Amino acid sequence: MRPIARGIAALATALALAACSGGGTTTTQAPAGGTQAPAGTTAASAPCTDSTGTTVVAVGVANMEWQQPINAKVGDVITWTNGDTVPHKVALDDGSCAMSDNIPGGGSKSLVFSVAGTFPFHCSVHPSMRGTITISS
């Protein structure tokens, strides 16, 4: 019975190693509609980036809630001002874009979008804080 148990253990080990190996190629496909970049995109293809430009759309965050709705146009600088004492950070739900730094309590941070679309987002510090950004052409 011992040789059978050793054989089964060896087979299980071989299968586990084969399943964990990175021999295949993984591709990421853009969602239907193509308005949002998939997770893992480069900064050049991300739908938004940090900005220090002049604010076009001002958004508040207070009492652990994002001001809604957030509507802007491609190229508009959207600035979030944190009315809470705790930090917040905007991150798109699909992982394609996030602020590079937290918005400190009483501080502000901005993003600018390069493509139109509807972008669900959350606070990466407080994931239960959710909202939607709508960008038009």
Question: b vs e for 63-85, b when ≥16 Cβ sit within 10 Å of the residue's Cβ?
Answer: eeebeeebebeeebbbbbbbebe
Question: CB-based contacts of 44: which residues, under 8 Å, 6+ apart?
Answer: none
Q: What backbone torsions phi and psi does residue 119 show, to the nearest 5 degrees?
A: -125, 100
The pLDDT value given to residue 112: 98
Percent of residues, the chain, with pLDDT higher than 90: 67
**Calpha distance 72→80 (Å, rounded):** 13
Question: Per the structure block, which two tokens stand in for 123?
Answer: 């606070």
Q: Which of 29-43, 47-61, 84-98 has the lowest mean pLDDT?
A: 29-43
Answering whether pTM is above 0.75, one says: no
51-71 pLDDT, tens digit per residue, is 999 999 999 999 999 999 999
